[in-house]
Amino acid sequence: MKKNLGAKDLLMPNPVLVIGTYDEEGRPNAMTLAWAGVVSSNPPAISISMREQRKTLANIKVKQAFTVSFATEDTMKASDYVGLVSGNKGDKVYSAGLTAVHAEHIDAPYFAEYPVTLECKVMDSRKIGQHINIIGEIVNVLADEEVLDANGKIDVTKVKAIAYDHTGENYIAASQIVGKAFKEGSALH
């Protein structure tokens, strides 16, 4: 039986993304968010949303750039920590044990501990409800050699990215392959 649960901010799965920015004095900041998704393939672009008071938002306004690192099982504690603590209070990048490195293509830091990071330039932003929604063009993907397959492509089973379950407030494994896209349904043709 179907039940109506009312209006809720629900999606399954959500990504867990660590956003890297510099403030106007070049100090690195990291924050975690889950309200995000791809919005375009050409140019490649993603949407991230955050509340207006975030230090990250102030930084993005100044630098018009940010990195997006995918939280993984190995980086879960640091990723959770930078989501808990405000960037307006001290150096949480240091407290989290993260190593900020200036990205090559944009004026934002990436964190060496994450195996896969997107370098993004701001394309657009708008207010939606209580969130600011930012569209970032992905100008480069940076990946550890260790998570690439023999053809140099990112191997999802090596990255071990995690997802966010908003209802239960859990982190979820997102690395076990259960089917082939554009193949599973071909039997129904």
Among the listed residues 82, 100, 106, 108, the single contact to a copy of itself using CB under 8 A: 82
Looking at the DSSP bridge assignments, the partners of residue 111 are: 100
Q: Which is nearer to a copy of itself, 24 or 91 (CB)?
A: 91
User: How far is CA 148 from its chain centroid?
Assistant: 19
C-alpha closest to that of 59 among 92, 21, 105:
21
Alpha-carbon distance of 101 to 110, in angstroms, equals 5
Could you tell me if 84 and 174 are in contact, meaning their C-beta atoms sit under 8 angstroms apart?
no
Among the listed residues 27, 61, 85, 107, the single contact to a copy of itself using CB under 8 A: 85
180 binds a copy of itself (CB under 8 A): yes
Non-local CB neighbours of 48 within 8 Å, separated by 6+ positions: 17, 19, 33, 35, 36, 66, 68, 133, 134, 136
Q: Which is nearer to a copy of itself, 82 or 108 (CB)?
A: 82
Among the listed residues 15, 20, 87, 109, the single contact to a copy of itself using CB under 8 A: 15
CB of 88 to a copy of itself, least distance (A): 16
CB of 33 to a copy of itself, least distance (A): 10
Looking at 22-30, 52-60, 69-77, which segment touches a copy of itself (CB under 8 A)? 69-77
Taking phi over 0 as left and psi of -120 to 50 as alpha, with beta for the rest, 157 belongs to alpha
Q: Which is nearer to a copy of itself, 25 or 168 (CB)?
A: 168
> Under rule CB under 8 A, which residues in 30-49 are in contact with a copy of itself?
34-47, 49
